[in-house]
Chains A and B, each alone.
Chain A
C-alpha cells in the first residue's frame, strides 16, 4: 500500500466506525480531516453521509468510498476513535499503528454486559415514570416490565437484525404485559406503566443527532436520521396501539 492509500484507508476506517456507532456527521468530517492533515496531506476532501463515507486527496489519483450498512449505538467506540485521533495528533502513535488500532477497535466490542444493560433499562423506566407522573404506586410493575421489554428487544435485535421489527415486538410485549399487570391488580394505571416501560426504547440518539445534523447544515444525513427516528417511534406506537384497540 502506498502512503496515500494508507492515509485514505485510515481516515475511511475512522469515519466508518464513527458513523456506524452513532456520531454526528460534522464530528466525523472534522476527525477525518484532522487525521489527514496530521498525516501530512494539505488538502483532503471528505464527503460523509449516513450511508457512506468518501474521501479524496486533492491533486492525486487517490479516492475511495466506504459504505455504511449497519448502524448501532455504541458511544464508547466514538470516544475511542476520538482518543486515537488525539494520540495521532500528539505524535504518540504513527499512521500504520493508528490503522491497526482502528481495525482492532472495529472488531472488539467492549460494551457493558447484558445484566448491566438490564439494570440500566430498569433505572430508566422506573425513575422516569415517577418524574413524569409524580406517583410511586406503579413503580415495581413499571421496572419489571421495562426491563423485560428491553430484554425482548435486545435478544430479538441480536438474532433478527431488523431493528424496527424488534421494536414492534417489544412494544407489543410491553403493552400485553402492562394489560396483564393491570388485570391481576398489580398496577393501578396501565398508561403510566406503558410510558415508563417504553422509555428505554425511545429513539433518543437518532433524534438528537438529527437535530444537530440539520443545525450543522447536513441536509442529507439530518433528515435521513429523522426518518429513522420516526420509523422507530412509529413501530413503538403501532405496537402499543394494537394492544390499546384490542382491550
Chain B
C-alpha cells in the first residue's frame, strides 16, 4: 500500500462519511481534500517515527486550521468540514480491541488499549484547542493586514 493509495483512500473515506451525515453537496469535495491533506501530515509524522499520538495531534491541528479557512472561504459553519475530515483519526481499531479484550476477559490488554484510546482522543482534543489559538492568530493578522493596506 503506497502513500498515494493511502491518500486516495483517505479522500474516499471522508467523502463517504460526508454522505452519511449529509453535508451540503458543494462542500463534499473540499472536505475530502482537507481529509487527504491532514492524512498526509499524519503519514509524514509516521515516516519520522513520530507515533500515532503525535500524528493525531498534528492531524487535528491541521483539520482545525484548514476547516476554519474553508469555512470562511465557502461561508459555511466549520463543523461541516472538520467532522467528516476527522473520521480517519477516530481510534476505532483500538476501541474495538478494547471491547474485544474486555469481552474475552483479558483485562490487562484491555486496559492497555483503553489508555491508547484515551490518549489519542486527548491528543485530538488538544489539537483542536491549538488550532483554535492559531485561528484567532490568523484572524488577528488578517485584520491588521487590512488595516495596514487601507
Contacts and interface: CB of A to CB of B under 8 A. Distances in A.
Contacts of B15: 120, 123
Interface string B58-96: 000000000000000001110110110011101011011
Interface of A: 22-24, 27, 73-76, 78-79, 82-83, 86, 111-112, 116-117, 119-124, 126-128, 130-136, 150, 191, 194-195, 198-200, 202, 204-205, 207-209, 211-212, 215, 233, 237, 240-241, 244-245
B21 A86 contact: no
Contact of B96 (A86, A123, A131, A240): A240
Do most interface residues of chain A lie in helix, strand or loop, or is the interface mixed? helix
Interface of B: 1, 6, 9-10, 12-13, 15-24, 27, 39, 75-77, 79-80, 82-83, 86-88, 90, 92-93, 95-97, 99-100, 102-104, 121, 124-125, 128-129, 132
Given A78-B79, A237-B99, A244-B103, A117 B13 contact: no
A198 B87 contact: no
Interface of B is mostly: helix
A18 B8 CA distance: 32
Contacts of B79: 22-24, 27, 75, 78, 208-209, 212
B139 to A, nearest CB: 15
B80 A75 contact: yes
Given A120-B20, A132-B92, A204-B86, 9 more contacts: A120-B16, A123-B13, A124-B20, A200-B16, A200-B20, A207-B121, A212-B128, A215-B128, A240-B99
Contacts of B125: 211, 215
Contacts of A75: 21-24, 77, 79-80, 83
B81 to A, nearest CB: 10
Contact of B16 (A78, A121, A133, A205): A121
A233 to B, nearest CB: 7
Contacts, number: 150
A127 B83 contact: no
Contact of B10 (A111, A127, A135): A127
B13 A127 contact: yes
Given A78-B80, A241-B103, A136 B1 contact: yes
Contacts of A128: 9, 13, 87-88, 92
Contacts of B6: 131
A-B pairs with lowest CB-CB distance, top 7? A123-B16, A120-B19, A241-B103, A127-B9, A237-B99, A124-B16, A120-B16
Contact of A132 (B24, B93, B100, B128): B93
Contacts of A27: 77, 79
A131 B99 contact: no
Given A123-B16, A134-B1, A208-B86, A78 B77 contact: yes
Contacts of B10: 127, 131
B100 to A, nearest CB: 6
B93 to A, nearest CB: 5
Contacts of B20: 117, 120-121, 124, 150, 200
Nearest to B82: A208
B21 A73 contact: yes
Contacts of B90: 199, 202, 204, 207
